[in-house]
Amino acid sequence: MDLLRSVKDRTDDTEFYTPLPAGYTPGSTRYVAIFGTVMSGLGKGIFSSSLAKLLKDKGLRVSPVKLEGYLNIDSGTLNPFRHGEVFVLDDGMETDMDLGTYERMLDQDLTRANFTTSGQIYSSVLEKERKGDYLGRDVQMIPHVTGEVKYRLRDLAVKTQADVVFVEVGGTVGDIENAFYIEALRELSYEEGEGSVIFVALTYVLSPPALGEQKSKAAQLGIKRLMEYGIHPHIIACRAENPVVEKVRQKMSVYSNVPVKRVFSMHDLPSIYLLPDAMREAGLDSEVVQLLNLGGRVNSAADARAAVEWSRFTSKITSAAQTVNIGITGKYTALRDSYASIIKALEHAGASNDAHVNVKWIDTTELTDADVLKAMGDVGGIIVPGGFGSRGTAGKIACIKYARLNKVPYLGLCFGFQMAVIEYARNVCGLAGADTTEISPDCKHPVIDILPEQKQIEGLGGNMRLGGQDIDITPGTLASELFGGAGRIRMRFRHRYEVDPRYIDQLQKAGLVFSGRHPVHPIMQVLELPRSVHPYFIGCQSHPELTSRPLRPQPMFVGLVKASLAKKG
């Protein structure tokens, strides 16, 4: 503590460089840092968010942060095939999909302060160097880059008044780009003092089919690599297909000096939402509270209430009374992470309707009108999700036409909203050649186009409409019914193109209803068909899946599942 307080008064006469944000008290905030070993993609975000949820249930204020090793400033330009979906926060920050896991599990909105990349860190350090903030010192990885990481973690603690900050380091400990993050967290533990920082190692226990038993050697070597950085884990989470046997847990304990009770079997479950209960049953939340000396801040009554409420939700997942098939069309169907938030929104909506939702993936790349019946014959409802580019659009329009004519419940998201407008313009309004200028810049009827004010913004991603926006809902419409009669709602957006105002009147006269609009500008946000024409046909320019939560399912998805069950019944 004395070291941190004195650092602010020193410049080049010391090797310590630890700038502190205003209002930060060393030792008042606790930190839980999660690292991955063996391989990436094992579920660090799921583990971290589940553990954070358990502490939040106890009345503690928690704030997560994802530390990404790539040099991109944000996730906006990343290909979904390489990195999964781009999750957009309310403040417009384009982030890694793990931020969606945190928002859903914790039921709280996050900000750009909860997401950090190496590109952000290096940019900030270089900007400070140009401004002379380092007082003539040579700028180095240690202490300046690691100091920037620590500053951001502490600044997050101040901004969110967190009792516990959960720090997830992307990738694995073997990735060279993560070395300075790991070093920064080692320094943070040293500076904050004993009982202020705990480390979690998430590893992988192999089960080679030819051997017929679980093998822990790769997991042991991964932990060894972490320890070589000076990080000694307090908890080990062992990912595996089946429950990790006691013998393997004992091996991991002996090898790492972590008590067996803190070697947790994180095996495959039917739903990630069952993980918090598994952690609670294993006593992992109690171990963390004890390690961080947080017992005095725990609200046991709140914890008990939260456990009961969560159990009611998970029981609907494991014992749903009905089943329904929902088709999702798109070009990224080979990688399910591209649609992670949609899948979770359907899971939430299914539980709300006491139903299990089976997702049927419909690749529209080669789909034609002649094939659509075969592709959609067994679905109760259909979603056309967001996307960019021309590939697969003809197939999407064919699916929308089939859903409209055959009264199949339909939900269009962002690009799916635009495709519904195009389909209606072509096949109902008689506007041959109607299209979007994104795909066909010289089309005869550009019913979807970039509005003039957006064209003035340059750069890839620069003219995107990003983040939370208000929507005015028309009374007496399906949208109004879904949102409980609310006159104004808020959703998150990530798009460039809009319905061209010149065609709005013609589309409306032909029967298309724009039931959600921008409060000021002539921007159409929600479309639908009257109930007298179609049981459930609705689209939105936004991404409603981004704000769906387990205990607060998104109304448009709830309505889709309900309508699909009715069609099936």
- The residues carrying an active-site annotation are 414, 543, 545
Burial of 326 from C-beta contacts in 10 A (0-12 / 13-18 / 19+): buried
Q: What span, in angstroms and rounded, lies between the C-alpha atoms of 556 and 482?
A: 7
Structural contact between residues 200 and 233, judged by C-beta atoms closer than 8 angstroms = yes
Give DSSP secondary structure letters for 433-455.
TEEETTT-TT-SEEEEEE-HHHH
Residue linked to tokens 């889709």: 560
Kindly provide the b/e burial profile for residues 360-390, where b requires at least 16 CB atoms within 10 angstroms of the residue's own CB: bebebeebeeeebeebbeebbbbbbbbbeee
| Closest residue by Cα to residue 284 from 266, 261, 301, 258 | 261
Q: What span, in angstroms and rounded, lies between the C-alpha atoms of 437 and 147?
A: 47
DSSP secondary structure letter of residue 176: G
Kindly provide the b/e burial profile for residues 480-491, where b requires at least 16 CB atoms within 10 angstroms of the residue's own CB: bebbeeeeebeb
Put residue 34 in one of left, alpha, beta given phi > 0 → left and psi -120 to 50 → alpha.
Answer: beta
Q: What span, in angstroms and rounded, lies between the C-alpha atoms of 181 and 340?
A: 27
Q: What span, in angstroms and rounded, lies between the C-alpha atoms of 233 and 185?
A: 12
**Rounded to 5 degrees, what are φ and ψ at 466?**
-120, 145
**Tokens standing for 101?**
């896991």
Burial of 455 from C-beta contacts in 10 A (0-12 / 13-18 / 19+): exposed
Structural contact between residues 16 and 27, judged by C-beta atoms closer than 8 angstroms = no
| Closest residue by Cα to residue 226 from 166, 194, 186 | 186
DSSP secondary structure letter of residue 145: I
